[in-house]
């Protein structure tokens, strides 16, 4: 197992590895450092021939509370920080969407703002019954729109991105935002089972299928992945 302060990457078992956002004291808020570590970890995993599927989860009781608002607050007084936030954020989003193998999110607790985006940019999402999704930053910042539109359709995506309304796991399932809802204590086990089913296919076949998914998404890479 590779461990550092912010990310834990497990050794692949039967082609499946688990990548954990490891900042539980901040509800896995996506600081510049955490995003950069995830981006680097995904690059390493993409090159690892033993990896077929990656499960992405959060440590503690949250998936991710989103971008680190303390960094945005400091940006008003710290020269260059705002630029660094976006210089980190855009490659992070791209690393998720263009990861060449299947990504499965295990979403427990809050998945807000950039945390919701992180889940949306994965290929499948298994949610715990206590999961919550939303874009509270809609009142003061950009949201990632296009991938959400692909999942839930224009009417729902517009409403969620314009109002910032937070929804529970049951509504997320009805909208098609998540694929399945399970009890919190079953979340990791069930997500690993889904990942294991995917990993029965040869790695080369999974990469070809994922390439089709990426091509079909057709998301232009400007700020927050949208025009």
45-78 per-position pLDDT tens digit: 999 999 999 999 999 999 999 988 888 777 778 8
Rounded Cα distance between 81 and 70, Å, is: 11
Residue 111: CB atoms within 10 A of its CB come to 32
Structure tokens given for 184: 């919190």
Tens of pLDDT, residues 1-43:
454 578 999 989 999 999 999 999 999 999 999 999 999 999 9
Per the prediction, the chain carries an average pLDDT of: 91
Judging by DSSP bridges, how do beta strands 132-134 and 2-3 pair with one another? Answer: unpaired
Confidence (pLDDT) at 225: 54
Rounded Cα distance between 1 and 159, Å, is: 41
What is the pTM (predicted TM-score) of this model? Answer: 0.92
Structure tokens given for 128: 């715990």
Tens of pLDDT, residues 132-181:
999 998 887 788 899 999 999 999 999 999 999 999 999 999 999 999 99
Structure tokens given for 169: 């796991």
Helices (H), 20-113: 32-46, 69-75, 81-97
Confidence (pLDDT) at 25: 95
3-state SS assignment for residue 76: coil
Tell me the longest C-alpha to C-alpha distance in the chain: 51
Residue with tokens 């807000």: 112
Rounded Cα distance between 207 and 172, Å, is: 28
CA distances from 204 to 54, 104, 141 (A): 15, 18, 39
Confidence (pLDDT) at 224: 52
* Residue 185 annotated as catalytic: no
Residue with tokens 């990426």: 214
Structure tokens given for 80: 């260059």
For residues 126 and 150, the answer to whether their CB atoms sit within 8 Å is no
Tens of pLDDT, residues 90-143:
899 999 999 999 999 999 999 999 999 999 999 999 999 999 999 998 887 788
Judging by DSSP bridges, how do beta strands 124-128 and 103-107 pair with one another? Answer: parallel
Confidence (pLDDT) at 1: 43
- Cα-Cα-Cα-Cα dihedral of 120, 26, 91, 199, to 10°? -50
- Active-site option among 70, 83, 137, 189: 137
For residues 72 and 88, the answer to whether their CB atoms sit within 8 Å is no
């Amino acid at each position: 197992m590779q461990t550092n302060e912010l990310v834990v990457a497990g050794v692949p078992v039967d082609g499946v590895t688990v990548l954990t956002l490891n900042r539980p004291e901040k509800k896995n808020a996506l600081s510049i450092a955490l995003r950069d570590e995830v981006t680097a970890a995904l690059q390493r995993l993409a090159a690892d021939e033993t990896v077929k599927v990656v499960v992405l989860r959060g440590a503690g009781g949250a998936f991710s509370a989103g971008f680190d608002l303390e960094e945005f607050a400091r940006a008003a007084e710290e020269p260059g920080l705002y630029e660094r936030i976006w210089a980190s954020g855009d490659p992070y989003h791209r690393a998720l969407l263009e990861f060449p193998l299947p990504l499965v999110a295990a979403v427990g607790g809050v998945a807000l703002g950039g945390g919701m985006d992180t889940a949306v940019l994965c290929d499948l999402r298994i949610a715990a019954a206590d999961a919550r999704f939303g874009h509270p930053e809609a009142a003061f910042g950009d949201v990632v729109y296009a991938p959400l539109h692909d999942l839930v359709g224009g009417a729902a995506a517009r409403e969620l991105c314009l109002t910032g309304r937070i929804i529970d796991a049951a509504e997320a399932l009805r909208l098609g935002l998540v694929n399945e809802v399970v009890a919190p204590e079953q979340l990791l086990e069930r997500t690993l089972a889904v990942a294991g089913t995917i990993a029965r296919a040869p790695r080369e076949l999974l990469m070809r299928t994922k390439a089709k998914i990426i091509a079909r998404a057709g998301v232009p890479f400007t700020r927050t992945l949208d025009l």
